[in-house]
Amino acid sequence: MATIRDVMPAFELFQPASIDAALTLLDQHGTDAWVLAGGLDSFDWLKDRIKRPAVVVDLSGVAELKGVRASGDGVEIGAMTTLTEVVRHPLIKEKFSILLEAAEAAASPQIRNQGTIGGNVSQDARCWYYRAGWPCYRAGGNICYADTPQAINREHAIFDADRCVAVNPSDTAPALIALGAQMVIRRTGGERVVEAEDYFIGPGTDITRMTALAAGELLTAIRIPGTFAGARFYFEKVADRNVWDFPLVNVASAMRLEGGTIQALRIAANGVAARPRRLITVEQVLAGRRPDDAAAVTAAGEAAIAGAEPLQHNGYKVPLLRNLVRRALRGTEDS
């Protein structure tokens, strides 16, 4: 492990008061700039002296980026809204309780008070080989230290490993994918909106990034449509301990039933690949079936793990994912 030092290397700190001012700074400094949200991922990097940005743009003073607002029959959440605010907001509680559960499952109360939803979905991989600053693929080198016969890779990917086997550690990400959320990304002179599942990118596409955010871009808001407002939700996270831990695997589903059969279903899992994995084959298997159809649920569980390629020490994630998916579909933690 890298040694955490108390004193960070010097950088130029900017504290803009508006999105436009922040974007101007990001545009000016390009790849030299580091975006600071809640700081919970950033300060690890900076104190470890592994990331040494010349410029840090602190978003904590940008009021436009904070708060939960009604938007049609859905909601829009500012990227700098803390996880605690998400958990406590009545609109989230009333319409999208799956996001409440997911946000509440993240880390610890203190961290949720400081950590933002934008930071939670944009945080970097937690692979310790990578976080130690070694020249692995994700760090721009040419090796994956976690995918070797000797490696400790209990927490790593079972799907879509493309040189790098790190996983995405976000708890809110699968819930947002299940809700069909959209991510609002702005840069100087423009805005683009991407589906939550496309916000996350795997190592095959870009091994040094976890999200679609390019230099100069800022995630400003997350829009959740009303499609699944008040639907049947399920979120479950399995971690080594219940508080202050990243998921080994988590699963989130949003389901609409009509006459007992599934009319609409979105389900996603995280902790199994470098990007949260929307389980489209599971959705297809269950289309038009009843969630209490044991054969269909069993088939869906198998569909969820098809193509899994576990590493030396993470084979347990395969049955774990299968069972979590089955539970999500049945809507109960009873096995």
Partner 1 sequence: MDLLTWGRSPWGEWILTHISWDLLWASLFAGVAFLVAHAGYLLLSPHRVRPAAETDTLEAARTDLPKRIPRHSLAARLFHWVMAASMFVLLLTAFLPIAGVKFAWVTWHWAAGLVLTASILFHIVHASVWMDFWSIWVGPKDLPELKSELLRELGHDAPGAKPGKYPLGNRLYHTAIVLAGLSVAATGILMMWRVRTPFFTRNPYLLGDTTWGVTYVTHGLAGVGLVGLVIAHVYFALRPEKLWLTRSMLLGWITRRQYLEHHDPERWVPR
Segment near partner 1 (CB under 8 A), from 37-45, 66-74, 141-149, 324-332? 141-149
Q: Which residue has the tokens 């009319």?
A: 263
Q: What's the start-to-end Cα distance of the chain, in Å? A: 38
Segment near partner 1 (CB under 8 A), from 147-155, 172-180, 233-241, 244-252? 147-155
Question: Of residues 147, 155, 197, 283, which one binds partner 1 by CB under 8 A?
Answer: 147
Question: Of residues 205, 263, 284, 332, which one binds partner 1 by CB under 8 A?
Answer: 205
Least separation in angstroms between CB 191 and partner 1: 20
Phi, psi of 55 (to 5 degrees): -135, 135
Q: Is 48 in the site for partner 1 (CB under 8 A)?
A: no
Q: Is 148 in the site for partner 1 (CB under 8 A)?
A: yes
Please report, as a single letter, which amino acid is at residue 28: Q
Question: Of residues 3, 10, 72, 140, which one binds partner 1 by CB under 8 A?
Answer: 140
Q: Which of 266, 286, 330, 279 is nearest to 305 (CA)?
A: 279
How distant, in Å, are the alpha carbons of 37, 86, 110, 174, 278 from that of 105?
A: 19, 12, 13, 12, 19
Report the residue number, 129 or 228, with the smaller CB distance to partner 1: 129
Report the residue number, 174 or 202, with the smaller CB distance to partner 1: 202
Exposure class string for 237-246: b at 16+ Cβ within 10 A, else e: bbbeeeeebb
- What are the tokens at 146? 């976690």
Report the residue number, 164 or 296, with the smaller CB distance to partner 1: 164
Question: Of residues 49, 126, 154, 163, which one binds partner 1 by CB under 8 A?
Answer: 163
In 10 A of CB 315, how many CB atoms? 13
Contact positions vs partner 1 (CB under 8 A): 129, 132-135, 139-145, 147-149, 161-163, 201-202, 204-206, 309
